[in-house]
Chain A
Amino acid sequence: MIKNAPVLIIVVPLLASLINIILGLRWRALSFPLMLAALSVSAASSFIALNTVIDSGTIHYRLGGWAPPWGIEYVIDHLSGFVAVIVSFVSLVIAVYTRKSIEREFPGKTVYFHSIFLLLVTGLLGIVVTGDIFNIYVFLEITSLASYALVAIGPDKRAPLAAFNYVIMGTIGACFYLLGVGYLYIMTGTLNIADLSRLLPGLYHSPVIQVAFAFFMVGIALKIALFPLHRWLPDAYTLAPSAVSALVASTMTKVGAYLMIRIIFTVFQPFFSIEVLPVMNLVGWVAAAAVIFGSGYAIAQTELKRMLAYILIAEVGYIVLGVSFANRTGLTGSILHILNDSFMMACLFLAVGAIAYKTKNTNIASLSHIHKTMPITMAAFVVGGISVVGIPPTAGFFSKWYLVLGAIEAGKWVFAAVLLISSLMTAIVFFRIIERVYFTAADPGHGKSARAVMDEAPLGMLVPVLVMAVGVLILGLFSGRIITTVIQFAVPSVF
């Protein structure tokens, strides 16, 4: 079975999702344990795969036994193994969280929710593991369709409208990606990533390949909500159920960023985007605008989830900014930020979800008593917040450090300044919340001011929040080790 680990990562959640539909008609109580079991097997397989990659190099797994380029193959190298482990672990933790929160929001339909959840995770893991660009399109659409459905079932009245806008924009993005695949196919005749990276350098001067690159970039930018194509994200992620917001915020955008790194640095060699079609500068300016815009708008929000959605736009900007520097330090910072941001966003969204579960109100203005009634949740939120700002020893500091170093090394002082300014802006955002929660005196007409009883979220929701918060701290302390074992080899060897 260890030999088949790459395929088990995807097949087990897929099978579990469908078995869940059939079994759930009769035995509804089985659906949650089945989901947890499937995600655990998937997480274990991705750990095994990453270990094998660290020990003995890239894994190539041929589907159906056909040799590439005639068959589809699954390729796990350092970067894919790394992202697969992140996605499967974070989904497992969020799956534990969904039990309580979904039981309250959709009392009779938990079976279908778990099935769509598993399909979403299948799609995400499929994008990461596969080595064939059309297969990436198929899994991308599986992911998107599952997330359209999950976003639409939010408790607010406007959730279906937000999901509808998401459908329109997401479809445009996926279709642009498909067009890019088509243009590459018409010029090279192959769909395999390794084959393309071998065949394309001879064709770089052709305008078809350059337009294909443009289509890829715009399509993926639509999917990861890179400014100025971010309009769908705040509505969709605010109005979705809290577990769903946490899952899509911490995984979908990161997998999209992984896809962008794959296209720019593996399918097209780095030489293409730096010298043949010098777009890295433009990508850098767009990402810097995303960072400033996201942080700026986050300051203006009064509702926690919407604020976090704008912070997410800024985080995506960080990752793409690191990619645009095109040097080793910048890419290290980018890939490390994929890991850190998954954990930070999951921690923050899960904490806000716990607050919403208990108090039904996520306005910042009404948070003044929370540190007495939900101290652990607020502590986790604070840890996530200072990680977003970038204060050591939390994880966010280390990835921002590498990003700033990468900016200085590439000679782009403006981007280093942008990174520091955005740290200040996110500091304003989070310290304002901390001040509101911890230091604002209770309203005089409130009654029980000093002896508020602790009324935490249920244990099934509290443990994932704590795991994520502790994870943020541990990842910060171990980031050097992570870089030397995995990320150092994940960065393309050209740099």
Chain B
Amino acid sequence: MIKQCDNVIVQSVSRFLTPFILLFALYVIAHGHYSPGGGFQGGCILGASFILSMIAYDIAEVKRRMTEKMNTVLTGVGVLIYAGIGFICLLLGANYLDYGVLAEILPVGTAKARALGTFGIEIGVGITVMAVMVSIFLNLASGGEHEEGSVE
């Protein structure tokens, strides 16, 4: 359903902007606990960089860099990071998602362990949101055809 955009200006500008968008997205994820930002916002911007490339260039071109299989795996990996950190806290003896006990395996104090735990789950959320945004766009832009019989 989406045709490649043949406009030279759109292609060059998007090719130039994509690394900056990615960098800004990582910046937003990392600063979530201290300033406006966080996992979901950064993840959306990450996804937006992929979608920009897909609109400016051909979808198949971008799919060579981010395959559908990798996308599906990333959807799961992000939430597994989130739930996994919580599970590690469970196994170390405290309640679920109680990052304070992470101080036993990381060489930092309890308060810093809490901050690092939160940062870890933000990364997980960012990965999943990026994968889901790209996946939604792929499915809607190709009219539902890209999935049929491909991820088997």
Contact = CB atoms under 8 A, between A and B. Distances in A.
Q: Do A's and B's CB atoms come within 8 Å in the complex? A: yes
Interface residues of A, number: 16
Contacts of A62: 95
B69 A25 contact: yes
Nearest to A66: B98
Provide the main secondary structure of the chain B interface: helix
B95 A11 contact: no
B120 to A, nearest CB: 13
A65 interface: yes
A22 B73 CA distance: 5
Contacts of A11: 83, 86-87, 90, 96
Contacts of A21: 72-73, 75-76
A400 to B, nearest CB: 41
Contacts of A207: none
Q: Give the interface size bracket for B toward A.
A: 20 to 34
A136 B80 CA distance: 22
A21 B87 CA distance: 19
B95 A65 contact: yes
A484 to B, nearest CB: 33
A64 B96 contact: yes
A391 B83 CA distance: 47
Contact of A15 (B73, B80, B99): B80
A226 interface: no
B99 A64 contact: yes
Contacts of B97: 63-64
A11 B88 CA distance: 12
A233 B87 CA distance: 38
Contact of A108 (B83, B90, B149): B149
Contact of B98 (A22, A25, A65, A108): A65
17 contacts: A4-B95, A7-B95, A7-B96, A11-B83, A15-B80, A15-B83, A21-B75, A22-B73, A22-B77, A25-B72, A61-B95, A62-B95, A63-B97, A63-B98, A64-B99, A65-B95, A108-B152
* Closest A-B pairs by Cβ, 10 of them: A65-B98, A18-B76, A22-B76, A7-B96, A21-B76, A64-B97, A18-B79, A65-B95, A64-B98, A15-B83
